[in-house]
Amino acid sequence: MSYQVVSIGGSGAKSVESLTHLCAAGLMPDGELNVLFVDPDLANGCLERTQNTLNRYCECKKTGMKQTGLLKTSITLSKPNVWTPFEETAKPKLGDFFRYPVLKTQYEPAAHLFDVLFSPVEKEVLLDEGFLGHPSIGAAVMAKTVKLGETEPWQTFRRKIEQDAKEGEGSKIVLIGSVFGGTGAAGIPTIARLIKQEFKGYKNIKVGGVLLLPYFSFIAAEKKLNSGKSLKLNPQNFVLNTQAALKYYYNQNYLDCFDCIYLIGEHMLTPLKHATSGGRNQSNEPNFMELYSALATIDFFNDIDEKVKDPTFEARKYQLIAREKSGEVQWSDLPDGNNGNIVKRQLGTMTRFAFAYLNVYYPMLENIRTKEKTYRSPWYIQFFERKGISLNSSQIQDQLKNMKEYCETFLKWMANLHKSNDQLEIEFVGYKAFAKEKDKTMYLLPNFDGSLFENLILPEGKANADGLNDLWERMCDNKALSPQEAAVGDFFKAVFEESDLIKVR
């Protein structure tokens, strides 16, 4: 089965960041995940962080782990990774993009219509940092430039979906983005309609929409233009923008382009800690609402076929989810299908794995490599020494370091979720065991508090929970069975499986 995710704008990219970590924890269904980013702001900091996360994931995936939840999903990024409607070196303005000066001289009625649709400020604002909360600008640009069969990465995107459909496997496509800003609000309906038209003859292609409603805010600001004028950026317009966008989608039948739609928002908006209009400095911290959008994506990939077969689906298609308590977010508030605590179990296991690897196993491997005292670690003898694997091999060092960097990325993401909204008490893990916030930025501690490992997954107070010593003993009893070329992957697999929350009795 082929799964396609089209991330549109900054909120879409941050949702893919969360989706990547869910893939690392083994929550995706079996199959390949293909990711395509759509953003006119190529330098967007959120987009860059997500791409770095995906690249680390893919590097770790190369270690050859078999039959385990850790990094279970193969993820492929489009080439190029990001599609933009503009040339990479261009500094586009809306007026220039639609050749407004030519319209004025040769097609005056069209120029008058352009004047009605767009203000003088909108015509001259530079668009290389996105559409700045003006979906009318983005919709015009997207409709003109998205061509599924003509340019990359759309050619490969179209070919992959068509191939899977013809082979009978089918394809599931999810579009993720916000509907209160500019890029997502403009791109989602435009791209959804193009996909619907392109594949209207195929019944085994399903399209889902994950639409983020307002969930963050910032201090109103103005973007200065060269002419001395300015374009206002005001989060107070978010709700009106959302209302207008959803009404427009409905009236224009854009919602009919989707087999299933998820609307995700939060009435207690999160003030951005480092707000900016775009570019590399737009690197907003992960937000727990993006975890919800990632879970919605997985829900669509898992269950849409069964849902549409259900004769009562049409009658109950409007389903709601809400928190148990207005001021708290806990594991029980996360959508979990009919699988009980699978999200808590898998994300909890990934958290314990990352903690243990960074706090115990990677430092010990570095100590063994430099001091060669292997006798202190029986698990090292099982997984490395008896297979003739040298820690001084550059390939082995790269594999161990790649996992170290990914685990650091994962734990920083997890810690940031807990501080993403000061109005809410978010309780997933005891992040203070490995991270702290300073000057509105989350940092990993140089030394983790290993004594908190047994109660790392909240709520605390589990009787007879396994600590790091228990994990160490189980690792020493574990047997490495994979061939030499998969030795490091075999080791990662063992640490992950021994970190499984099922062992917290």
pLDDT (tens digit, 0 to 9) for every residue of the chain, 505 residues total?
789 999 998 899 999 999 999 999 999 999 999 999 998 777 778 899 999 999 999 999 988 777 788 999 999 999 998 988 776 555 677 777 777 778 888 888 888 887 777 777 777 776 665 555 566 666 667 767 777 777 899 999 999 998 888 888 789 999 999 888 778 877 888 899 889 888 888 888 999 999 999 888 766 656 666 666 666 666 677 777 788 778 878 887 878 889 999 999 998 888 776 555 444 555 688 999 999 999 999 999 987 655 555 565 554 456 778 888 889 999 999 988 555 589 999 999 999 999 999 999 999 999 999 887 666 788 998 888 888 888 999 999 999 999 999 999 999 999 999 998 888 999 999 999 999 999 888 999 999 999 999 899 998 655 556 789 999 999 998 876 665 556 788 899 999 999 987 665 4
**What pLDDT does residue 459 have?**
86
| Start and end residues for every CATH 3.40.50.1440 domain found in the chain | 2-89+133-305
The CA distance from 104 to 481, in Å, is 73
The total of other beta-carbon atoms located within 10 Å of residue 179's CB is 28
DSSP state of 462: -
Please name the residues in contact with 89: beta carbons below 8 A apart, sequence gap of 6 or more: none
Phi first, then psi, for residue 172 (nearest 5°) are: -120, 130
Phi first, then psi, for residue 196 (nearest 5°) are: -60, -45
The CA distance from 416 to 438, in Å, is 12
**What pLDDT does residue 170 have?**
85
The CA distance from 193 to 254, in Å, is 7
CA 18 to chain centre: 4
113, containing H or E segment: helix 108-117
**CB–CB of 18/290 below 8 Å?**
yes
For helices 9-24 and 342-356, give the axis angle rounded to 10 degrees: 80
Q: Is 442 helix (H, G, I), strand (E, B) or coil?
A: strand
**Residue with the two structure tokens 């006798």:** 375
The CA distance from 370 to 365, in Å, is 9
Q: Is 202 helix (H, G, I), strand (E, B) or coil?
A: coil
Q: Which one is the CATH code of 2-89+133-305: 3.30.450.90, 3.40.50.720, 3.40.50.1440, 3.40.50.300? A: 3.40.50.1440
**Residue with the two structure tokens 């790269």:** 398
For helices 342-356 and 394-418, give the axis angle rounded to 10 degrees: 130
The total of other beta-carbon atoms located within 10 Å of residue 283's CB is 16
Torsion angle (degrees, nearest 10) of CA 437, 442, 446, 449: 60
pTM for the model = 0.89
The total of other beta-carbon atoms located within 10 Å of residue 336's CB is 16
Which tokens go with 189? Answer: 């309906």
Report how many helices (DSSP H) and strands (DSSP E) the chain contains, helices first: 17, 14
For helices 394-418 and 45-61, give the axis angle rounded to 10 degrees: 140
**CB–CB of 238/217 below 8 Å?**
yes
Phi first, then psi, for residue 261 (nearest 5°) are: -130, 135
